[in-house]
Amino acid sequence: MFKRVIALVFFVSIFLSHEIYSQNLTLKNQTDSISYSIGLNYGLGLFNNLVGDSIPYNAQAMITGFSDGLIKQQGLISNDQAQQLIMILQEQIMQKREATANIEKQKNLQKSMQFHADMKNKPGVVTTASGLQYRIIKEGTGKIPTETSQVKVHYKGTLIDGRQFDSSYERNEPAVFPVNGVIKGWTEALKLMKEGSKWMLMIPPDLAYGDRGAGQLIGPNETLIFEVELLEVMDANQMQELKKAD
């Protein structure tokens, strides 16, 4: 993987020095165009990686090293020495990323703890023994799901700063899933809700995705806030009909 990164460093060096190189370049045939496209693609991608990891580099040294390997097949240092230096750099980058991730975890955890402490005293907010918090927006009168029930719901999910990460409303399609097939906070809440209810859920990290987060939008130790409408507790016949429709 890191060999590819080093190769990309060469290409980004060319990209950053485009005033020198592109003035003398003419794409005469498909081979030229493909070669240029590879370099441009690698360069643009690596530029973001270099900026993201704050990697210091000497563009001329990279170009010379690439040229020595490609044309001369030998360099100013041995291949073993080069590999050792690359491994050292790779380890430094991994340590830096881990340190950055740990800072984010602690920062988000503190925000989550403060949020739930503040919400605990808000009118209408119920805090369960697990730490789940909810507020009833509308109380339904229908069935209450069990652990093994299938439910149909509408929902919108946001972080505590208001950023939305998911919404069945925007898809114009309710979600159907088993009560025991979602995050712990959802499972606990659904088993308390009556069919027809609409609740606001405030789910702490340990009942959501913990310190691993989920995808690009939910970071580590994030509290998740959901508006949830329990539209229907579905029986076996309804599930069979739904499967046939699919």
Task: Tell me the residue type at 181.
Answer: G
Among the options 166, 203, 218, 225, which is catalytic? Answer: 166
As a whole number of angstroms, the distance between CA 214 and CA 220 comes to: 8
Confidence of residue 16 (pLDDT cuts 50, 70, 90): very low
Catalytic residue status for 165: yes
Read off the pLDDT of residues 49-84 as tens digits, 9 standing for 90 and up. Answer: 666 677 776 767 776 776 787 677 778 888 889 889
Mean pLDDT, all residues of the chain: 85
Catalytic residue status for 226: yes
Catalytic residue status for 21: no
The pLDDT, as a whole number, for residue 32 is 84
As a whole number of angstroms, the distance between CA 84 and CA 202 comes to: 49
The pLDDT, as a whole number, for residue 240 is 58
Interacting residues of 168 by C-beta distance below 8 A, sequence separation 6+: 153, 154, 155, 156, 174, 175
The pLDDT, as a whole number, for residue 20 is 46
Q: Name the residue with higher pLDDT: 9 or 71.
A: 71
The top-level CATH class assigned to 119-245 is alpha beta
Read off the pLDDT of residues 197-245 as tens digits, 9 standing for 90 and up. Answer: 999 999 999 999 999 999 999 999 999 999 999 999 987 656 555 555 5
Among the options 14, 15, 209, 218, which is catalytic? Answer: 209
* Dihedral sign, Cα of residue 34, residue 35, residue 38, residue 43: negative
Among the options 86, 183, 206, 211, which is catalytic? Answer: 183
Read off the pLDDT of residues 111-145 as tens digits, 9 standing for 90 and up. Answer: 999 999 999 999 999 999 999 999 999 999 999 99
Q: Name the residue with higher pLDDT: 96 or 192.
A: 192
Catalytic residue status for 209: yes
Per-residue pLDDT averaged across 176-194, rounded? 97
Catalytic residue status for 155: yes
The pLDDT, as a whole number, for residue 148 is 92
**Domain extent listing, the chain:** 2-76, 119-245
Among the options 36, 68, 165, 211, which is catalytic? Answer: 165
Among the options 10, 66, 134, 155, which is catalytic? Answer: 155
Catalytic residue status for 36: no
Per-residue pLDDT averaged across 27-42, rounded? 82
Per-residue pLDDT averaged across 87-104, rounded? 88
